Amino acid sequence: MRPSDIHCSNGIYIDKELPGDKSISHRAAIIAAIADGESVIQNSATGDDLVSTLQCLSQLGVEIETSATEIRVKGQGLNGLRKPDRHLDCGNSGTTARLLAGVLAGQPFESVLIGDESLSRRPMGRIAIPLRRMGAGIKISDNGTLPMTISGSTLMGLSHTLEVASAQVKSCLLLAGLCAEGETAIFETIPTRDHTERLLPFIRKEILHDGHKLTVHGRCSISPFNLTVPGDFSSAAFLIAAGILIPDSHIRLRRVGLNPTRTGLLDVLGEMGARVTIENHVEDAIEPYGDLVVSYHGETLQGCLLDEKIIPSLIDEIPILAVIGTRTNSGLEIRYASELRYKECDRIMALVYNLRQMGAEVDEFEDGLFVHPSSLRPAGIKTFGDHRIAMAFVIAAMAAGGVSTIDDSECIEISFPGFMKYMGIEPTECHREFLSC
Ligand code: S3P
């Protein structure tokens, strides 16, 4: 837990490139590890979650060199990973655990995935069940959680319809499909982030009348690649919100990832009437990117109701979107989002708790929340150890003015180590208070 002070005087001014996207960086590192040769990943994510992935890969015998600007991964091919000599610790990272499980299911050795307290509460049955159907031996706890013991074997291709709209489950099964005999077909009724498919262009995509079908043929060898990872849209979301909510702020974020399966927040902000613009948009790259620009105008935003189909494209942005919802004229309704209860913490509970602490009127539902138009007041914030709850309420506290307190800002290191500096907050050893404008 790290105490911090915030001294916010004349708004937030940022004109920068952000560290690389976390979801893309995990996938790039894992896919590079099973490619035939050396891959180079530039502007990779910098948070603790990516460190968890890199450490697990090196325990599996993958040589990785990191420098300030790039990561070099010496791929071992589909069959070249080594049995680890201890448990693979995925830390706080669900993406590490679920994607690695897909790769490990097809390896001829036993491995055990473990995680921290938060990850050890998150559901793993959603990958264990289909991986078993492919022929892997998978043991998880009676609660359906880590630790997961994987006795890899020769896998058979599978045809599977995703029961939850989850890119982690989809990617786990596509990676397992790479090592399987025959064809693996995944059906998703609501599209989820497609970074794995973009990195493995031999995955065939078909658009069906009720969703997508993705097909991978097993035993395809993977070519090494060079990739520059665009800035993390999910990190950018907090800074965009700072531009909307904190007076006198001017934000320009350069080369941010704008993959349409991730940018639902921009669509909702557009509907609300917030003025966020895209400049220098490059659409014909493996991962599209552009500059995001927003300045404070202090307008009241239009209320809105989120459609079920948009939820996966903004699932990680819901904490900050709920904070923005307090500034609408008729409220923000977020439903069909029960997945939020299975993230780094129960995010519906954490949002309702902290918004109410700050004086907002909020209705809680099993699958979401309704945020009424409210003015926020300073309060004691609990992060529940969740990086996105922490960042959302740092912004809320700064927008509220006065002095708020936060119980833990250290968890922000999971995804966005520079965040407190971007917000002009220097960590100190002696205070836990946010002194805001
Ligand atoms: C992720 C997918 C999402 C997201 C998570 C990262 C990924 O989870 O919430 O932060 O990298 O695939 P689900 O796919 O389980 O919803």
- The per-residue pLDDT for range 234-281, each reduced to its tens digit, is 999 999 999 999 999 999 999 999 999 999 999 999 999 999 999 999
Alpha helices in 313-404 (DSSP H): 318-325, 347-357, 387-400
- CB distance 315 to ligand 1 below 6 Å: yes
Task: Give the model's pLDDT for residue 6.
Answer: 47
Q: Where in the chain is the domain with CATH 3.65.10.10?
A: 4-19+231-422, 22-228
The pLDDT score that the predictor gives to residue 424 is 86
pTM above 0.75, yes or no: yes
| Active-site residue, from 316, 367, 386, 407 | 316
171 C-alpha vs ligand 1 centroid, how far in Å? 10
- Whole-number Å distance, alpha carbon 297 to ligand 1 midpoint, is 32
Alpha-carbon distance values, 139 to 44, 144, 167, 256 (Å): 32, 9, 22, 39
pLDDT at 428 over 50: no
Task: Determine the residue of 22, 23, 197, 261 to mutate for testing ligand 1's pocket, defined as the one with the most ligand atoms within 8 A of the Cβ atom.
Answer: 23
The verdict on the CB of residue 166 being under 6 Å from ligand 1 is yes
Ligand 1 pocket member 92 (CB < 6 A):
no
Q: State the closest ligand 1 atom to the C-alpha of 165, by its place in the atom list counted from 1.
A: 16
* 111 within ligand 1 shell (Cβ under 6 A): no
Instruction: Name 190's Cβ contacts closer than 8 Å, sequence gap at least 6.
Output: 165, 211, 308, 309, 311, 312
Residue 431: pLDDT band with limits 50, 70, 90: very low
User: 431 is written with which tokens?
Assistant: 């205070």
Range scoring the smallest mean pLDDT among 84-88, 129-133, 149-153, 250-254: 149-153
**What is the SS3 assignment for 201?**
coil
Nearest to 164 by CA among 334, 27, 337: 337
Q: Is the CB of 95 under 6 A from ligand 1?
A: yes
Residue 9 burial (CB < 10 Å; 0-12/13-18/19+)?
A: exposed
Residue 147, both tokens: 């630790």
Whether the CB-CB separation of 83 and 110 falls below 8 Å is answered with yes
State yes or no: is 316 an active-site residue. Answer: yes
d(CA 146, CA 65): 29
* Cα 142 versus chain centre, distance: 27
Closest ligand 1 atom to residue 99 Cα is 12
Top-level class of domain 22-228: alpha beta
Ligand 1: does its nearest atom lie under 6 Å from the Cβ of 339? yes
| CATH number, domain 4-19+231-422 | 3.65.10.10
pLDDT digits (tens, 9 = 90+) for 117-145: 999 999 999 999 999 999 999 999 999 99
